[in-house]
Amino acid sequence: MATLLDKLEPMFRRYREIEESMADPEVAANFERIQELARERASLEYLVKVGSEYKELVNEIDDLESLARDGSEPELVQMAKEELEVAQAKLEGLTQTLRMALLPKNPNDERDVIMEIRAGTGGAEAGIFAADLYRAYSRYALNQGWKVEVMDSNPTEVGGFNKIVFEIQGKNVFRRVKFESGVHRVQRIPNTETQGRIHTSTATVAVLLVVDEVEVKIDPNDLRIDIFHAGGHGGQNVNKVATAVRIVH
């Protein structure tokens, strides 16, 4: 925990420095400088917000551990243990969030993505697993305020998908989902299983960047146009008819 807090401390310090600079009348009078500071502050806001929650939770856990260990009243000790369990679970989630946020920035982090999920081994259950993954990603995206649009799908007869392709649009989409690429595996008893046996199913997930449309301009002088005529019987008429055109750039 100390290591993560050590990484956060310079960001807290820099955020305070920016706040102080922006409150300085001389800096406020410099439009370009204030815009630059505002952009830097915006880039740190999320980390500072989550980092502050993390720091408060670490302190709360320390207090609860002391109470659970040294408390004299059994009821308070029991209550502290219950609250400690909840706080530790919350801390685990915040830790993962912070580690993701602290990763070096990729120039593509803010881009939209196209995700493709394909059922792998496991028969019909693999298709159901692919559908479960799609629902999980869709719900996560909607919770983030993103937009999800299905582009293509190949449903199965039992409510699954052999394949589904969908686009996710929103803020920092690629940053959040780029590590989802690969083979996903699940072991469970399917609803279609009558003998209670555990089945292993897989699905592959691909995460592709949505690229910007590029307008291509071609100079007609860079083109070579070859025209081909039919050959064979038929006299002059056949040889006059162009039957194929090839354009080479």
Check residue 1 and give its pLDDT.
46
* Predicted pLDDT at 240: 63
- Residues comprising the chain, all counted: 249
pLDDT for 241 equals 64
Q: Is 159 left (phi over 0), alpha (psi -120 to 50) or beta?
A: left
Q: Is 9 left (phi over 0), alpha (psi -120 to 50) or beta?
A: alpha
E strands, 72-172, in order: 113-119, 147-155, 161-169
In 3D, which of 158, 147, 156 has the Cα closest to residue 117? 156
Domain boundaries, the chain: 2-101, 113-209, 215-249
Which fold does the domain 113-209 belong to in CATH? Alpha-Beta Plaits (3.30.70)
pLDDT recorded at residue 74: 83
- Tell me whether strands 199-209 and 182-188 are parallel, antiparallel or unpaired: antiparallel
Rounded distance between C-alpha atoms, residue 32 and residue 17, angstroms: 17
Q: What is the pTM of this model?
A: 0.57
Buried b (16+ CB within 10 A) or exposed e, 126-150: bbbbbbbbbeebbeebeeeebebee
**pLDDT average per 10 residues of sequence, the chain (249 residues):** 77 93 89 90 89 91 86 82 90 86 82 96 92 97 96 94 97 90 92 81 95 74 78 58 75
